[in-house]
Amino acid sequence: MKPMKFQDYNLKQEIKQALDEMGIDTPTEIQEKAIPQILEGEKSHILAQAKTGTGKTLAFAIPLAEQLDPSSRNVQAVIMVPTRELCKQVYHVISDVTKYRHLKAVEVYGGVSIDRQIKNIRSGAQIIIATPGRLIDLYHRRAVNFKQVKFVVLDEADRMLDMGFLPDIDFILFDAMKDVFPRLLLFSATLLEEIKEIASDFSWGQELIEIDVSKDDITVASCTQYYYEIDDPQKKYNAFIRILLKERPQSCIIFVNTKRWAAMLKKRLINDKRIELRIDTLQGDMTQMQREMVMSDFRKKKITCLIATDVAARGLDIPHVSHIFNYDLPVGNAENYVHRIGRTSRMQRIGKAISIVETEQMNMIRRIESFMNKDILRYYLTEDERKNDHGRSTYPQRKTTEQVTYKKDEKEDDDDPYLADLSRY
Protein backbone atom coordinates (compact mmCIF):
# COMPACT_ATOMS: atom_id res chain seq x y z
CA MET A 1 0.00 0.00 0.00
CA LYS A 2 1.29 3.43 -0.94
CA PRO A 3 2.28 5.45 2.16
CA MET A 4 0.18 8.49 2.94
CA LYS A 5 1.56 11.96 2.41
CA PHE A 6 0.77 14.96 4.56
CA GLN A 7 -1.05 16.43 1.57
CA ASP A 8 -3.52 13.52 1.91
CA TYR A 9 -4.32 14.39 5.53
CA ASN A 10 -7.43 16.38 6.42
CA LEU A 11 -5.38 19.38 7.56
CA LYS A 12 -5.85 23.07 7.00
CA GLN A 13 -4.17 24.30 3.84
CA GLU A 14 -2.01 26.73 5.85
CA ILE A 15 -0.43 23.77 7.66
CA LYS A 16 0.16 21.83 4.44
CA GLN A 17 1.82 24.90 2.94
CA ALA A 18 4.10 25.24 5.97
CA LEU A 19 5.07 21.55 5.86
CA ASP A 20 5.79 21.81 2.15
CA GLU A 21 8.11 24.76 2.75
CA MET A 22 9.84 22.77 5.50
CA GLY A 23 10.51 20.00 2.97
CA ILE A 24 8.37 17.50 4.90
CA ASP A 25 5.93 15.42 2.87
CA THR A 26 5.74 11.95 4.47
CA PRO A 27 4.93 11.26 8.14
CA THR A 28 7.27 9.17 10.28
CA GLU A 29 5.81 6.24 12.23
CA ILE A 30 5.16 8.21 15.40
CA GLN A 31 3.52 11.00 13.38
CA GLU A 32 1.42 8.53 11.43
CA LYS A 33 0.12 6.90 14.63
CA ALA A 34 -0.19 9.91 16.94
CA ILE A 35 -1.58 12.69 14.73
CA PRO A 36 -4.90 11.00 13.83
CA GLN A 37 -5.46 9.97 17.46
CA ILE A 38 -4.92 13.54 18.67
CA LEU A 39 -7.10 15.05 15.95
CA GLU A 40 -9.97 12.57 16.30
CA GLY A 41 -10.06 11.94 20.05
CA GLU A 42 -11.56 15.11 21.49
CA LYS A 43 -11.31 13.93 25.12
CA SER A 44 -8.65 11.25 24.94
CA HIS A 45 -5.13 11.56 26.32
CA ILE A 46 -1.99 10.27 24.60
CA LEU A 47 0.86 8.30 26.18
CA ALA A 48 3.46 7.79 23.44
CA GLN A 49 6.77 5.97 23.63
CA ALA A 50 9.16 7.10 20.91
CA LYS A 51 12.93 7.29 20.80
CA THR A 52 14.91 10.38 19.90
CA GLY A 53 15.18 11.40 16.26
CA THR A 54 11.78 9.99 15.22
CA GLY A 55 9.96 13.25 14.51
CA LYS A 56 7.85 13.33 17.66
CA THR A 57 7.86 17.16 17.83
CA LEU A 58 5.76 17.34 14.66
CA ALA A 59 3.56 14.56 16.07
CA PHE A 60 2.12 17.08 18.53
CA ALA A 61 2.95 20.34 16.69
CA ILE A 62 0.71 19.55 13.72
CA PRO A 63 -2.43 18.78 15.79
CA LEU A 64 -1.84 21.92 17.86
CA ALA A 65 -1.58 24.00 14.70
CA GLU A 66 -4.80 22.40 13.46
CA GLN A 67 -6.90 22.73 16.61
CA LEU A 68 -5.87 25.94 18.38
CA ASP A 69 -7.75 29.19 17.82
CA PRO A 70 -5.62 32.07 16.46
CA SER A 71 -8.38 34.61 17.17
CA SER A 72 -8.05 34.05 20.94
CA ARG A 73 -5.20 35.78 22.74
CA ASN A 74 -5.30 33.29 25.62
CA VAL A 75 -2.76 30.55 26.27
CA GLN A 76 -4.24 27.36 24.80
CA ALA A 77 -1.30 24.95 24.85
CA VAL A 78 1.58 24.43 27.27
CA ILE A 79 4.56 22.33 26.21
CA MET A 80 6.99 21.32 28.95
CA VAL A 81 10.52 20.25 28.07
CA PRO A 82 13.55 19.34 30.21
CA THR A 83 16.23 21.64 28.79
CA ARG A 84 16.69 25.07 27.30
CA GLU A 85 18.15 23.59 24.12
CA LEU A 86 15.07 21.44 23.56
CA CYS A 87 12.85 24.41 24.43
CA LYS A 88 14.43 26.46 21.65
CA GLN A 89 14.25 23.59 19.15
CA VAL A 90 10.58 22.87 19.82
CA TYR A 91 9.87 26.61 19.57
CA HIS A 92 11.40 26.78 16.10
CA VAL A 93 9.43 23.74 14.88
CA ILE A 94 6.17 25.09 16.33
CA SER A 95 6.81 28.52 14.79
CA ASP A 96 7.48 27.00 11.36
CA VAL A 97 4.37 24.81 11.41
CA THR A 98 1.98 27.49 12.70
CA LYS A 99 3.23 30.56 10.83
CA TYR A 100 0.38 30.65 8.29
CA ARG A 101 -2.15 29.94 11.02
CA HIS A 102 -0.88 33.08 12.78
CA LEU A 103 -0.51 31.36 16.14
CA LYS A 104 2.04 32.92 18.46
CA ALA A 105 4.45 30.72 20.42
CA VAL A 106 6.71 31.86 23.25
CA GLU A 107 9.77 30.04 24.62
CA VAL A 108 10.46 30.45 28.34
CA TYR A 109 13.40 29.08 30.32
CA GLY A 110 15.77 30.15 33.04
CA GLY A 111 19.07 31.93 32.71
CA VAL A 112 17.71 34.87 30.73
CA SER A 113 15.52 37.88 31.51
CA ILE A 114 12.07 36.90 32.73
CA ASP A 115 10.66 40.38 32.05
CA ARG A 116 10.90 39.96 28.27
CA GLN A 117 9.27 36.53 28.50
CA ILE A 118 6.39 38.01 30.53
CA LYS A 119 5.95 40.75 27.95
CA ASN A 120 5.85 38.19 25.12
CA ILE A 121 3.23 36.09 26.90
CA ARG A 122 1.02 39.07 27.69
CA SER A 123 1.17 40.24 24.08
CA GLY A 124 -1.11 37.35 23.15
CA ALA A 125 0.69 34.00 23.03
CA GLN A 126 -1.43 30.92 22.35
CA ILE A 127 1.43 28.42 22.89
CA ILE A 128 4.05 28.38 25.66
CA ILE A 129 7.10 26.11 25.42
CA ALA A 130 8.74 26.05 28.84
CA THR A 131 11.08 24.35 31.24
CA PRO A 132 9.11 23.43 34.40
CA GLY A 133 10.97 25.67 36.85
CA ARG A 134 10.54 28.85 34.80
CA LEU A 135 6.88 28.00 34.13
CA ILE A 136 6.21 27.79 37.88
CA ASP A 137 8.00 31.10 38.39
CA LEU A 138 5.75 32.72 35.79
CA TYR A 139 2.67 31.18 37.41
CA HIS A 140 3.56 32.54 40.84
CA ARG A 141 4.08 35.97 39.29
CA ARG A 142 0.62 35.67 37.70
CA ALA A 143 2.19 36.20 34.32
CA VAL A 144 0.55 33.11 32.83
CA ASN A 145 -3.09 32.01 33.04
CA PHE A 146 -3.98 28.36 32.46
CA LYS A 147 -7.78 28.75 32.45
CA GLN A 148 -8.11 28.41 28.65
CA VAL A 149 -5.45 25.70 28.17
CA LYS A 150 -6.70 22.89 25.91
CA PHE A 151 -3.49 20.85 25.65
CA VAL A 152 -0.56 20.19 27.94
CA VAL A 153 2.38 18.40 26.34
CA LEU A 154 5.18 16.66 28.22
CA ASP A 155 8.09 16.17 25.81
CA GLU A 156 10.98 13.89 26.88
CA ALA A 157 9.08 13.08 30.07
CA ASP A 158 11.61 10.49 31.22
CA ARG A 159 14.39 13.03 30.93
CA MET A 160 12.42 15.49 33.06
CA LEU A 161 12.09 12.85 35.77
CA ASP A 162 15.82 12.05 35.50
CA MET A 163 16.55 15.72 36.14
CA GLY A 164 14.36 15.87 39.24
CA PHE A 165 11.40 17.75 37.74
CA LEU A 166 8.71 15.39 39.06
CA PRO A 167 7.62 17.74 41.90
CA ASP A 168 7.41 20.64 39.44
CA ILE A 169 5.37 18.59 36.97
CA ASP A 170 3.04 17.45 39.74
CA PHE A 171 2.50 21.04 40.85
CA ILE A 172 1.73 22.29 37.35
CA LEU A 173 -0.61 19.43 36.41
CA PHE A 174 -2.41 18.81 39.69
CA ASP A 175 -2.32 22.21 41.42
CA ALA A 176 -1.92 25.01 38.89
CA MET A 177 -4.23 23.24 36.38
CA LYS A 178 -6.53 21.50 38.85
CA ASP A 179 -9.67 23.24 37.53
CA VAL A 180 -8.72 23.23 33.86
CA PHE A 181 -8.78 19.58 32.58
CA PRO A 182 -6.75 19.93 29.35
CA ARG A 183 -5.79 16.98 27.19
CA LEU A 184 -2.44 15.41 28.04
CA LEU A 185 0.00 14.55 25.24
CA LEU A 186 2.94 12.76 26.85
CA PHE A 187 5.97 11.69 24.82
CA SER A 188 8.84 9.72 26.30
CA ALA A 189 11.72 7.53 25.13
CA THR A 190 10.98 5.12 27.99
CA LEU A 191 7.77 4.64 29.93
CA LEU A 192 8.76 4.47 33.57
CA GLU A 193 6.11 3.57 36.13
CA GLU A 194 6.15 7.14 37.45
CA ILE A 195 5.33 8.40 33.95
CA LYS A 196 2.44 5.97 33.58
CA GLU A 197 1.13 7.06 36.97
CA ILE A 198 1.22 10.72 35.92
CA ALA A 199 -0.74 9.93 32.76
CA SER A 200 -3.23 7.71 34.59
CA ASP A 201 -3.85 10.20 37.41
CA PHE A 202 -4.19 13.16 35.05
CA SER A 203 -6.60 11.41 32.66
CA TRP A 204 -9.25 11.21 35.45
CA GLY A 205 -10.76 8.00 34.07
CA GLN A 206 -10.94 9.30 30.50
CA GLU A 207 -9.53 7.32 27.60
CA LEU A 208 -5.73 7.02 27.71
CA ILE A 209 -4.33 5.89 24.37
CA GLU A 210 -0.89 4.26 24.45
CA ILE A 211 1.31 4.42 21.36
CA ASP A 212 4.62 2.54 21.19
CA VAL A 213 6.91 2.90 18.19
CA SER A 214 10.13 2.20 20.08
CA LYS A 215 10.09 -1.58 19.87
CA ASP A 216 11.24 -1.73 16.26
CA ASP A 217 14.59 -0.07 16.96
CA ILE A 218 13.73 3.02 14.92
CA THR A 219 16.41 5.16 16.50
CA VAL A 220 19.38 3.09 15.41
CA ALA A 221 17.99 1.49 12.25
CA SER A 222 19.65 3.99 9.90
CA CYS A 223 22.81 4.44 11.96
CA THR A 224 25.88 2.35 11.18
CA GLN A 225 27.50 1.39 14.48
CA TYR A 226 30.88 -0.10 15.17
CA TYR A 227 33.67 0.02 17.70
CA TYR A 228 37.44 -0.32 17.97
CA GLU A 229 38.88 -2.18 20.92
CA ILE A 230 41.99 -0.67 22.55
CA ASP A 231 44.02 -2.81 24.93
CA ASP A 232 46.02 0.09 26.39
CA PRO A 233 44.46 3.43 27.45
CA GLN A 234 47.74 5.15 26.48
CA LYS A 235 47.03 4.23 22.86
CA LYS A 236 43.54 5.69 22.85
CA TYR A 237 44.18 9.22 21.61
CA ASN A 238 46.37 8.22 18.68
CA ALA A 239 44.01 5.44 17.71
CA PHE A 240 41.27 8.06 17.69
CA ILE A 241 43.32 10.29 15.39
CA ARG A 242 43.69 7.39 12.95
CA ILE A 243 39.94 6.89 12.98
CA LEU A 244 39.30 10.61 12.39
CA LEU A 245 41.73 10.63 9.48
CA LYS A 246 39.96 7.65 7.94
CA GLU A 247 36.43 8.94 8.45
CA ARG A 248 37.00 12.62 7.56
CA PRO A 249 33.71 13.67 9.22
CA GLN A 250 31.96 16.72 7.80
CA SER A 251 30.21 17.40 11.09
CA CYS A 252 30.61 15.37 14.25
CA ILE A 253 29.97 15.20 17.97
CA ILE A 254 32.57 13.61 20.24
CA PHE A 255 31.17 12.39 23.55
CA VAL A 256 33.31 12.28 26.68
CA ASN A 257 32.31 11.65 30.28
CA THR A 258 33.74 14.68 32.08
CA LYS A 259 33.98 18.39 31.38
CA ARG A 260 37.65 18.26 32.39
CA TRP A 261 38.46 15.79 29.65
CA ALA A 262 36.31 17.76 27.18
CA ALA A 263 38.55 20.77 27.74
CA MET A 264 41.73 18.68 27.52
CA LEU A 265 40.66 16.88 24.35
CA LYS A 266 39.67 20.16 22.71
CA LYS A 267 43.11 21.63 23.42
CA ARG A 268 44.89 18.53 22.17
CA LEU A 269 42.89 18.28 18.95
CA ILE A 270 43.26 21.98 18.16
CA ASN A 271 47.05 21.65 18.47
CA ASP A 272 47.19 18.42 16.44
CA LYS A 273 48.32 19.25 12.90
CA ARG A 274 47.08 15.95 11.52
CA ILE A 275 43.45 16.96 11.40
CA GLU A 276 41.40 19.84 10.07
CA LEU A 277 38.39 20.38 12.31
CA ARG A 278 36.89 23.52 13.80
CA ILE A 279 36.35 22.48 17.41
CA ASP A 280 34.43 23.68 20.44
CA THR A 281 32.89 22.15 23.57
CA LEU A 282 29.41 21.94 25.10
CA GLN A 283 29.38 21.39 28.86
CA GLY A 284 26.98 21.63 31.77
CA ASP A 285 28.67 24.56 33.53
CA MET A 286 28.52 26.97 30.58
CA THR A 287 26.30 30.05 30.77
CA GLN A 288 23.18 30.10 28.65
CA MET A 289 24.72 32.70 26.34
CA GLN A 290 27.85 30.57 25.86
CA ARG A 291 25.80 27.47 25.09
CA GLU A 292 23.61 29.29 22.57
CA MET A 293 26.63 30.77 20.81
CA VAL A 294 28.26 27.35 20.49
CA MET A 295 25.07 25.71 19.21
CA SER A 296 24.46 28.54 16.75
CA ASP A 297 27.99 28.19 15.35
CA PHE A 298 27.57 24.42 15.10
CA ARG A 299 24.28 24.69 13.22
CA LYS A 300 25.80 27.25 10.86
CA LYS A 301 28.78 24.90 10.36
CA LYS A 302 31.24 27.46 11.68
CA ILE A 303 32.12 24.63 14.07
CA THR A 304 32.49 21.18 12.53
CA CYS A 305 33.34 19.24 15.68
CA LEU A 306 31.54 19.53 19.00
CA ILE A 307 33.02 17.85 22.08
CA ALA A 308 30.18 17.23 24.53
CA THR A 309 29.38 15.67 27.84
CA ASP A 310 26.04 13.90 28.29
CA VAL A 311 24.34 17.26 28.86
CA ALA A 312 23.95 17.22 25.06
CA ALA A 313 22.85 13.61 24.71
CA ARG A 314 19.16 14.45 24.51
CA GLY A 315 17.27 17.22 22.83
CA LEU A 316 19.86 18.44 20.34
CA ASP A 317 18.41 18.41 16.84
CA ILE A 318 21.12 19.12 14.28
CA PRO A 319 20.29 17.41 10.97
CA HIS A 320 23.73 17.67 9.39
CA VAL A 321 25.67 15.58 11.97
CA SER A 322 27.37 12.80 10.01
CA HIS A 323 29.32 11.11 12.83
CA ILE A 324 29.01 10.43 16.53
CA PHE A 325 32.24 9.41 18.26
CA ASN A 326 32.11 7.88 21.72
CA TYR A 327 35.62 8.71 22.84
CA ASP A 328 34.37 7.55 26.24
CA LEU A 329 31.60 5.00 26.55
CA PRO A 330 28.78 6.19 28.80
CA VAL A 331 29.21 5.01 32.38
CA GLY A 332 26.67 2.61 33.83
CA ASN A 333 23.66 3.37 31.62
CA ALA A 334 23.28 1.60 28.27
CA GLU A 335 20.34 3.84 27.38
CA ASN A 336 22.62 6.89 27.33
CA TYR A 337 24.45 5.30 24.40
CA VAL A 338 21.20 5.28 22.40
CA HIS A 339 20.53 8.91 23.27
CA ARG A 340 24.03 9.83 22.15
CA ILE A 341 23.87 8.12 18.77
CA GLY A 342 20.40 9.59 18.28
CA ARG A 343 22.20 12.86 17.45
CA THR A 344 23.01 11.38 14.02
CA SER A 345 20.67 9.65 11.50
CA ARG A 346 18.01 12.17 12.51
CA MET A 347 14.67 11.86 10.74
CA GLN A 348 15.72 8.73 8.79
CA ARG A 349 19.03 10.18 7.58
CA ILE A 350 22.09 7.93 7.44
CA GLY A 351 24.84 8.39 10.03
CA LYS A 352 27.72 6.65 11.78
CA ALA A 353 28.33 5.99 15.46
CA ILE A 354 31.87 4.90 16.32
CA SER A 355 33.07 3.97 19.80
CA ILE A 356 36.54 3.50 21.24
CA VAL A 357 36.37 0.71 23.78
CA GLU A 358 39.06 -0.24 26.24
CA THR A 359 39.31 -4.01 26.73
CA GLU A 360 38.02 -3.79 30.28
CA GLN A 361 34.86 -2.05 28.98
CA MET A 362 33.72 -4.90 26.75
CA ASN A 363 31.02 -5.86 29.24
CA MET A 364 29.47 -2.43 28.67
CA ILE A 365 29.37 -3.08 24.92
CA ARG A 366 27.51 -6.33 25.58
CA ARG A 367 25.03 -4.49 27.82
CA ILE A 368 24.42 -1.90 25.10
CA GLU A 369 23.89 -4.62 22.50
CA SER A 370 21.44 -6.39 24.78
CA PHE A 371 19.56 -3.15 25.45
CA MET A 372 19.21 -2.40 21.72
CA ASN A 373 18.81 -6.04 20.68
CA LYS A 374 21.39 -5.28 18.02
CA ASP A 375 25.01 -6.26 17.44
CA ILE A 376 27.67 -3.55 17.23
CA LEU A 377 30.34 -4.48 14.70
CA ARG A 378 33.98 -4.61 15.66
CA TYR A 379 36.47 -2.94 13.33
CA TYR A 380 40.24 -3.21 13.57
CA LEU A 381 42.97 -0.62 13.33
CA THR A 382 45.29 -3.01 11.47
CA GLU A 383 45.08 -6.28 9.59
CA ASP A 384 47.52 -7.84 12.06
CA GLU A 385 45.22 -6.91 14.92
CA ARG A 386 42.37 -8.72 13.25
CA LYS A 387 44.45 -11.82 12.60
CA ASN A 388 45.67 -11.86 16.18
CA ASP A 389 42.20 -11.58 17.64
CA HIS A 390 42.26 -15.34 18.36
CA GLY A 391 38.51 -15.65 18.10
CA ARG A 392 37.74 -13.32 21.02
CA SER A 393 35.22 -11.51 18.89
CA THR A 394 32.06 -13.40 17.98
CA TYR A 395 31.67 -11.36 14.80
CA PRO A 396 32.92 -12.21 11.29
CA GLN A 397 35.92 -10.45 9.80
CA ARG A 398 35.48 -6.69 9.74
CA LYS A 399 37.16 -3.79 8.02
CA THR A 400 40.55 -2.52 9.08
CA THR A 401 41.96 0.98 9.19
CA GLU A 402 45.35 0.25 7.62
CA GLN A 403 45.68 3.29 5.41
CA VAL A 404 45.91 6.77 6.91
CA THR A 405 45.66 9.72 4.52
CA TYR A 406 47.56 12.84 5.50
CA LYS A 407 47.27 16.34 4.20
CA LYS A 408 49.45 16.78 1.14
CA ASP A 409 51.81 19.25 2.79
CA GLU A 410 52.19 17.21 6.00
CA LYS A 411 55.45 15.45 6.90
CA GLU A 412 56.02 12.80 9.50
CA ASP A 413 57.93 13.98 12.55
CA ASP A 414 60.67 11.53 13.51
CA ASP A 415 60.61 12.93 17.04
CA ASP A 416 57.01 11.82 17.50
CA PRO A 417 56.80 8.00 17.68
CA TYR A 418 53.03 8.08 17.09
CA LEU A 419 53.54 9.84 13.76
CA ALA A 420 56.67 7.95 12.78
CA ASP A 421 55.19 4.50 13.34
CA LEU A 422 51.43 4.56 13.37
CA SER A 423 51.24 0.85 12.69
CA ARG A 424 52.15 0.28 16.35
CA TYR A 425 48.69 1.52 17.26
Rounded to a whole number of angstroms, the distance between the first and last alpha carbons of the chain is 52
Kindly report, residue by residue over 243-269, the tens digit of the pLDDT: 999 999 989 999 999 889 999 999 999
Average pLDDT (322-348) is 79
Task: Identify the weakest region by mean pLDDT among 104-108, 172-176, 318-322.
Answer: 318-322
Kindly report, residue by residue over 132-171, the tens digit of the pLDDT: 999 999 999 999 999 999 999 999 998 888 677 889 999 9
Q: For residues 105 and 310, give the distance between their C-alpha atoms in angstroms, rounded to a whole number.
A: 28
Q: For residues 130 and 90, give the distance between their C-alpha atoms in angstroms, rounded to a whole number.
A: 10
Q: Where are the domains of the chain?
A: 6-212, 223-424
For residue 314, what pLDDT is reported?
55
45 and 99 in contact (C-beta within 8 Å)? no
Distance of CA 405 to the CA centre of its chain: 32
For residue 286, what pLDDT is reported?
74
Beta strands in 256-339 (DSSP E): 279-282, 305-308, 323-326
For residue 392, what pLDDT is reported?
47
Average pLDDT over the chain, rounded to whole?
84
Task: Identify the weakest region by mean pLDDT among 21-25, 169-173, 217-221.
Answer: 217-221
Assessment of whether the complete model's pTM goes beyond 0.85: no
For residue 182, what pLDDT is reported?
94
With a cut of 50, say whether residue 83 has pLDDT above it. Answer: yes
Grouping H, G, I as helix, E, B as strand and the rest as coil, residue 36 is: helix
- Give percent above pLDDT 70 in the chain: 83
Domains 6-212 and 223-424 share a fold: yes
For residue 413, what pLDDT is reported?
34
Does the domain spanning 6-212 belong to CATH 3.40.50.300?
A: yes
For residue 284, what pLDDT is reported?
67
Q: What number of other Cβ atoms are within 10 A of residue 300's Cβ?
A: 8
The CATH number of the domain covering residues in 223-424: 3.40.50.300
Strand partners, 184: 152
With a cut of 70, say whether residue 55 has pLDDT above it. Answer: yes
Average pLDDT (328-341) is 83
Distance of CA 59 to the CA centre of its chain: 16
Kindly report, residue by residue over 274-299, the tens digit of the pLDDT: 988 999 998 767 776 787 788 888 88
Q: Residue 400 — very low, low, confident or very high, per pLDDT cuts 50/70/90?
A: very low
Q: Residue 414 — very low, low, confident or very high, per pLDDT cuts 50/70/90?
A: very low
